[in-house]
């Protein structure tokens, strides 16, 4: 779709297209955007219309998650503490988007500092699910998923620390990828949990995903955890088919706690993959039940340290009269962070404290190794793993926000992937009533090509991705 | 009296590097506008990531090797978490387990002769920014932060509690500085280049830590103050409390800033934005670039040039002086050059607060050679050195212009005759059996020749003249 859009924009007017998007957003009830870069984006579009430039994303507007730095456009992670912060620099992925000809159209809503599964913890209020405005779009990249699903943006970037791209992709019925750790530079991504997260695109189709990934994947010397290969090719191999592909079904990802309709849709998807020439077998990822605990210890520990820099001294929120240092920065942090962020800072600080470090953080790292080994063992037998992305379809706004544990439990199939550092895509595989269901395909490290090839084959053989919410 | 036990943590800025530890900002911020040497990385802006300066690690390994440390196979960076306005990320990237270098020693001039002080470890970390208070720290209405220093590469060298006096602590710092300058990784003349935390206790007592002392003299004074304070407590049967103290340089006292209970929990954990660094393979190449270090050079000066150990030590403590000496010794008699550079020139420079670079090697060569060939006397040589330092000029020119060349035989003989004739009282004393009275007459001759005569020669001539008269 992006390829066709690019040709349309070249022949027609990028300005008109962008104006139409902004008009849709203005009338929208979804609350996907936090900041619209109307002036700079329209300016760019007019320049493009005057003399179109080349590039794989030439003239295409892209929406960017709040936590990805954009030079000159406020980047506040949907937190009061960062309101008013305008980065002086672009994240590596934003540089790459611009170099590919894209136009940055605005920033999208998210759970505060990416801490959530529902986009309800944002200081801008919740984003709504385009399929049912009473429901959450998933999170934390809820804005990025909702805007694409609702036709308010052709594509977007999110970030995935424990499912934050795949969960909202699943709830909003679009495609979302969590790349292999190290494939996409994190330079400019405001860190939640550095060792787990990756920036990933959200798109309407798998082909669009492959195109976006070709633009943003590749080495960046400013990120020491970035893999060395400069450029990656994903589009070319999409149509090669999946005959002979071996798919593993992790037994721990089915059964108790999984919604019946979700489980049914996932099995149908597996059958469809089989019909397309793949084979499947049961595999076991025996340490899955420790994944959530390990994930939350690691993520919160890193977060407690990452978020220490927000003291209002150099940027962001200032409150009242300046007192002495301790009083002032305590006051700013007390007022600037929301309850979920405070909860995670406290838990993370506790887990890293003297006497507890070995019991929690080090232990979590050991579990992480075991989980990674589970995946490595599975990938000796199979090429891909398939599972539900989320155990349930989108839930109602307010339904779970006061029960953090039940929210954390929803991440059960997405966090092991981040712990292992492997890539996974979520794509539409059916509906529970009105609500989309997502299929998760998991690959070996740096085998995004295989993941996308299988996703493409499935998508082309099914109609789910063609159905759009009424608001779109 | 009870034994004094001192251990030091020395923070060395590797300020000969051109860029900071985790970004490409320049290290040349001294005298620059505040916050002009900063970027998203060293300001800790959201989303920025550190990239390790490879050269800084090489410098660190170099120091580790020079101190006889074991270099770890693999080294790791950790986050040290604490809140302070000079720390823009809310944590400092430092090392914890798996530091760059462990073990090692530094040979110092101890209170009872030379002694090895053991080194526990040397690890790398980033420098925080600098706070500038509007007024004194306790009365300032506001405080400004300058992040220019933020991210400067630091090497923290930690000693065992092997030091037994403030003087020994000073001696260790002098020696460390000497080694660092030999390695060309450090310039001790820059502000804030070396800062010291000192742990001190009396045997059997709890220890206190005096933090962030910024001068060598300050270390000596702070430690002396602490020893007196701890002894006084003991005398009054009071306990020394384990705590962190601040050295107030103006009032020359230490004051408590944190008790043991308030000690920080730094919540160290591995820095997830940096990868473990395998450094074992770097070591051979770095080892091969290690220069001759002060102790080795001192030994060589003794064996190669036949110098006394004192002269050799004096000439090798500063690398610039040692280089200067070797250059002079290549073109003039080595032993004579050693005496003149170590005993005279260094003193004259020191007196004027100047470094060896204020004196030309060729001038030293000329002076030593003129002395060696008896063209000038020792007194004249001193005068020439002083003239060059105070007014400029070159040795040949000064000798000529001032008529300082050694007095001719006739002039000396004339002066001797005159002096013997004039000093009747001294002559009488001499004849009455006081041989030292002759020295007075020699002095008069030196005066008449304005120091241009050789005192030994004059002594012989005076004796001759006296016997003859």
Question: What CA–CA distances, in Å, run from A341 to A28, A299, A347, B55, B153?
Answer: 28, 12, 10, 38, 33
B145–A224 C-beta distance less than 8 A? no
Kind and range of the H or E run holding B410: helix B409-422
Put simply, the answer to whether B267 touches A357 (Cβ < 8 Å) is: yes
Q: What confidence score (pLDDT) does residue B468 get?
A: 75
Cis-peptide into A140, omega within 30 deg: yes
**CATH 3.10.580.10 is right for the domain spanning B409-468:** no
Query: Contact B46/A349, CB-based, under 8 Å?
Result: no
Which member of A189, A193, A302 has the closest CB to residue B47?
A189
pLDDT at B418: 86
Say which of A44, A65, A107, A178 is annotated catalytic: A65
pLDDT score of A285: 98
Q: What residue spans define the domains of chain B?
A: 4-286, 292-402, 409-468
pLDDT at B407: 67
Top residue of B141, B267, B275 to mutate, by most chain A CBs within 10 Å, is B267
Q: For residue B315, give every residue at least 6 positions away whose Cβ sits within 8 Å of its Cβ, in sequence order, or none.
A: B298, B301, B307, B321, B322, B325, B338, B341, B342
Does residue A330 belong to any structural domain of this protein? no
Q: Chain B partners of A311 at a C-beta cutoff of 8 Å? A: 83, 85, 90
Name the catalytic one among A164, A170, A185, A426.
A164
- Among the options A140, A141, A226, A301, which is catalytic? A140
Contact criterion met (CB below 8 Å) for A108 and A75 = no
Q: Which residues of A touch B89 (CB under 8 A)?
A: 308-309
Contacts of A191 in chain B (CB under 8 A): 46-47, 273
ipTM attached to this prediction = 0.95
pLDDT at B469: 65
**Using CB atoms, which residue from A82, A225, A309 is nearest to B273?**
A225
Instruction: For residue B49, give the nearest of A186, A309, A349 by CB distance.
Output: A186
If we measure between CA atoms, which residue out of A97, A116, A113, A75 comes closest to residue A157?
Answer: A97
Q: Are A187 and B47 in contact (CB < 8 Å)?
A: yes
| Close Cβ partners of B264 (under 8 Å, ≥ 6 residues apart) | B82, B258
pLDDT at B451: 76
Distance from CA of A105 to the nearest CA of B (A): 20
What lies within 8 Å, CB to CB, of A179 at 6+ separation is: A198, A199, A200, A213, A217, A423, A448
Q: In a mutagenesis test of the B interface, which of A305, A332, A348 is the best target, namely the one with the most B β-carbons within 10 Å? A: A305
Return the structure tokens found at A41: 């984006």
A65 carries an active-site annotation: yes
The Cβ of residue A264 has, within 10 Å, a number of other Cβ atoms equal to 14
| A299 lies in some domain | no
Nearest CA in chain B to A190: B47
Residue of B25, B49, B266 for testing the chain A interface, max A β-carbons within 10 Å: B49
Question: Which of B44, B142, B267 lies closest to A309 in CB terms?
Answer: B44
CB contact under 8 A, B52 and A224: yes
Domain-located, residue A94: yes
SS3 B146: strand
CB-based contact B52 A354, cutoff 8 Å: no
In terms of phi and psi (left: phi > 0; alpha: psi -120 to 50; beta: otherwise), the region of B328 is alpha
Q: How far is B199 from chain A (nearest CA, A)?
A: 22
Look at chain A and report how many structural domains it folds into.
Answer: 1
CA atoms within 13 A on the CB side of B302: 11
Residues of B in contact with A195 (CB under 8 A): 272
Nearest to A85 by CA among B37, B48, B109, B352: B48
Nearest residue in A to B140, CA atom: A324
A357 contacts B46? CB cut-off 8 A? no
**Which of these, B211, B256, B204, lies nearest to B229 by C-alpha position?**
B256
Predicted local confidence at residue A123, as pLDDT: 97
Query: Does the pLDDT at position A56 exceed 80?
Result: yes
Cα–Cα dist B86/B366, whole Å: 53
Cβ distance of B46 and A85 shorter than 8 Å: yes
The single residue listed with the structure tokens 């934005």 is: B273
Q: What is the Cα–Cα distance from B271 to B151, expressed in whole angstroms? A: 15
Tell me what the mean pLDDT of segment A385-394 comes to: 97
Distance from CA of A189 to the nearest CA of B (A): 4
Q: Are B448 and B412 in contact (CB under 8 A)?
A: no
| Residues in A touching B44 (Cβ below 8 Å) | 309
pLDDT of residue B459: 82
> Can you give the pTM of this predicted structure?
0.91
Residues of B with CB under 8 A from a CB of A: 40, 43-52, 79, 81, 83, 85, 88-91, 142-143, 145, 265, 267-269, 272-275
The size of the A-B interface in CB pairs under 8 A is 104
Over residues B152-192, the pLDDT tens digits come to: 999 999 999 999 999 999 999 999 999 999 999 999 988 88
pLDDT of the residue at B355: 93
Q: Tell me, what's the pLDDT at B137?
A: 67
Beta strands A384-388; A435-443: pairing state: antiparallel
Rounded Cα–Cα distance for residues A158 and A141 (Å): 5
- Residue in A69, A195, A314 nearest the CB of B47: A69
For residue A269, what is the domain's CATH number? 3.90.1300.10
Mean of pLDDT values over A141-154 = 98
Closest Cβ opposite residue B274 in set A224, A304, A361: A224
What's the confidence (pLDDT) of residue B139? 74
Q: Please state, in angstroms and rounded to a whole number, the distance separating the CA atoms of residues A160 and B119.
A: 45
A201 is a domain residue:
yes
Contact B267 A354 (CB under 8 A): yes
User: In this complex, do B81 and A353 lie within 8 Å of one another by their Cβ atoms?
Assistant: no
pLDDT digits (tens, 9 = 90+) for A149-197: 999 999 999 999 999 999 999 999 999 999 999 999 999 999 999 999 9
Condensed to tens digits (0 to 9), the pLDDT of residues A185-199 reads 999 999 999 999 999
Domain hosting A203: range is 2-285+373-466
Q: How far is it, in rounded angstroms, from Cα A219 to Cα A211? A: 17
Q: How far is A195 from chain B (nearest CA, A)?
A: 6
* CA R_g for chain A: 21
Rounded to a whole number of angstroms, the distance from the CA of B89 to the nearest CA of chain A is 4
Could you say which of A68, A82, A311 has the minimum Cβ distance to residue B90?
A311
Q: Which positions in chain B touch A223 (Cβ < 8 Å)?
A: 49, 273
Bridge partners, B19 (sequence order): B26
φ and ψ at residue B278, rounded to 5 degrees:
-85, 115
Segment A49-60 mean pLDDT = 97
Asked if residue A316 belongs to a domain, the reply is no
Q: What share of chain B is helix, strand, coil (3-state, %, to 5)?
A: 40, 20, 40
Could you list the mean pLDDT of each consecutive 10-residue stretch along chain B, which spans 469 residues?
93 97 96 95 98 98 98 96 95 97 96 96 97 77 92 98 97 96 94 94 94 93 96 93 91 87 88 96 96 96 96 96 96 95 96 95 94 87 94 89 72 83 85 83 82 79 79
Interval A64-71 mean pLDDT: 98
Cα-to-chain-centroid distance, residue A1: 20
The closest CB to that of B83, out of A87, A225, A329, belongs to A329
Residues of A in contact with B85 (CB under 8 A): 311, 313, 325, 329
CB atoms B51 and A224 under 8 Å: yes
Residue B202 Cα, gap to closest chain A Cα (Å): 28
Task: Reply yes or no on whether A353 is catalytic.
Answer: no
């Amino acid at each position: 779709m992006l390829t066709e859009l690019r040709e349309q924009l070249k022949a027609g007017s990028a300005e008109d297209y962008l104006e139409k998007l902004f008009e849709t957003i203005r009338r929208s009830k979804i609350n996907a955007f936090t900041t619209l870069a109307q002036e700079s984006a329209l300016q760019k579009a007019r320049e493009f219309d005057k003399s179109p430039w080349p590039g794989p994303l030439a003239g295409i507007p892209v929406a960017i998650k709040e936590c990805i730095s954009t030079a000159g456009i406020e980047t506040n992670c949907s937190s009061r503490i960062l309101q008013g912060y305008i980065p002086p620099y672009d994240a590596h992925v934003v540089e790459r988007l611009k170099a590919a000809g894209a136009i940055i159209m605005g920033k999208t809503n998210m759970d505060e500092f990416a801490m959530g599964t529902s986009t309800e913890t944002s200081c801008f209020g919740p984003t709504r699910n385009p399929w049912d405005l009473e429901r959450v779009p998933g999170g934390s990249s809820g804005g990025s998923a909702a805007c694409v699903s609702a036709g308010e943006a052709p594509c977007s970037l999110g970030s995935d620390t424990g499912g934050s791209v795949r969960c909202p992709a699943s709830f909003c019925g679009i495609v979302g990828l969590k790349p292999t750790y190290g494939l996409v530079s994190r330079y400019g991504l405001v860190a939640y949990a550095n060792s787990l997260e990756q920036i990933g695109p959200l798109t309407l189709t798998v082909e669009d995903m492959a195109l976006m990934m070709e633009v943003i994947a590749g080495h960046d010397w400013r990120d020491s955890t970035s893999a060395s290969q400069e450029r990656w090719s994903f589009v070319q191999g999409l149509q090669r088919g999946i005959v002979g592909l071996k798919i593993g079904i992790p037994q721990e990802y089915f059964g108790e706690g999984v919604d019946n309709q979700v489980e049914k849709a996932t099995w149908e998807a597996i059958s469809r993959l089989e019909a397309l020439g793949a084979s499947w077998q049961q595999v076991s990822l025996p340490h899955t039940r420790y994944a959530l605990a390990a994930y939350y210890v690691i993520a919160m520990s890193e977060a407690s340290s990452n978020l220490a820099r927000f003291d209002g001294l150099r940027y962001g929120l200032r409150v009242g009269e300046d007192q002495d240092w301790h009083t002032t920065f305590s006051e700013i942090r007390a007022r600037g962070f929301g309850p979920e962020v405070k909860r995670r800072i406290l838990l993370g600080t506790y887990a890293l404290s003297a006497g507890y470090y070995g019991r929690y953080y080090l232990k979590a790292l050991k579990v992480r190794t075991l989980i990674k080994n589970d995946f490595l063992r599975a990938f000796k037998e199979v090429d891909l793993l398939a599972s539900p992305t989320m155990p349930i379809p989108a839930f109602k706004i307010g339904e779970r926000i006061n029960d953090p544990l039940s929210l954390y439990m929803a991440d059960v199939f997405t966090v092991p992937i981040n712990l292992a550092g492997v890539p996974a895509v979520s794509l539409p595989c059916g509906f529970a009533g009105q609500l989309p269901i997502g299929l998760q395909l998991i690959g070996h490290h740096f085998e995004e090509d295989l993941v996308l090839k299988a996703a493409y084959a499935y998508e082309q053989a099914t109609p789910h991705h063609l159905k759009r919410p009424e608001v779109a | 009296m009870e034994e004094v036990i001192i251990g030091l943590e020395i923070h060395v800025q590797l300020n000969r590097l051109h860029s900071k530890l985790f970004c490409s900002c320049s290290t040349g911020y001294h005298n620059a506008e505040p916050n002009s040497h900063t970027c998203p990385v060293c300001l800790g802006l959201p989303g920025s990531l550190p990239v390790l300066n490879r050269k800084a690690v090489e410098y660190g390994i170099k120091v580790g090797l020079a101190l006889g440390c074991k270099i770890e196979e693999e080294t790791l960076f950790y986050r040290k978490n604490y809140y302070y306005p000079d720390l823009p990320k809310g944590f400092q990237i430092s090392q914890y387990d798996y530091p760059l270098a462990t073990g090692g020693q530094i040979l110092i001039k101890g209170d009872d002769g030379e002694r090895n002080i053991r080194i526990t470890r040397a690890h790398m970390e980033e420098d925080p920014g600098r706070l500038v208070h509007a007024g004194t720290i306790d009365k300032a209405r506001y405080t400004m932060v300058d992040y220019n220093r933020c991210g400067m590469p630091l090497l923290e060298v930690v000693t065992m509690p092997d030091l037994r006096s403030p003087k020994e602590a000073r001696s260790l710092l002098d020696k460390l500085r000497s080694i660092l300058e030999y390695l060309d990784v450090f310039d001790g003349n820059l502000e804030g280049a070396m800062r010291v935390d000192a742990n001190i206790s009396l045997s059997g007592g709890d220890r206190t830590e005096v933090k962030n002392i910024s001068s060598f003299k300050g270390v000596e004074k702070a430690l002396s103050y602490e020893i007196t304070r701890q002894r006084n407590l003991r005398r009054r049967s009071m306990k020394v409390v384990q705590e962190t103290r601040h050295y107030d340089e103006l009032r020359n006292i230490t004051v408590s800033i944190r008790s043991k209970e308030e000690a920080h929990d730094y919540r160290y954990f591995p820095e997830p934005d940096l990868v473990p660094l395998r450094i074992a393979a770097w070591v051979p190449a770095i080892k091969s670039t290690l220069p001759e270090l002060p102790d080795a050079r001192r030994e060589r000066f003794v064996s190669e040039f036949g110098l006394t150990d004192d002269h050799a030590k004096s000439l090798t403590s500063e690398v610039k002086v040692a280089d200067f000496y070797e250059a002079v010794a290549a073109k003039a008699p080595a032993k004579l050059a050693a005496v003149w550079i170590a005993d005279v020139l260094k003193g004259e420079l020191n007196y004027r607060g100047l470094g060896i670079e204020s004196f030309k090697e060729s001038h030293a060569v000329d002076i030593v050679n003129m002395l060696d060939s008896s063209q000038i006397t020792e007194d004249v040589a001193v005068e020439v050195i002083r003239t060059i330092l105070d007014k400029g000029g070159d040795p040949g020119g000064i000798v000529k212009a001032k008529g300082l060349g050694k007095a001719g035989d006739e002039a000396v003989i004339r002066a001797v005759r005159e002096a013997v004739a004039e000093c009747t009282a001294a002559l009488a004393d001499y004849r009455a059996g006081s041989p030292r009275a002759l020295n007075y007459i020699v002095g008069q001759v030196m005066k008449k020749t304005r120091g241009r005569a050789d005192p030994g020669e004059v002594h012989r001539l005076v004796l001759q003249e006296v016997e003859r008269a």
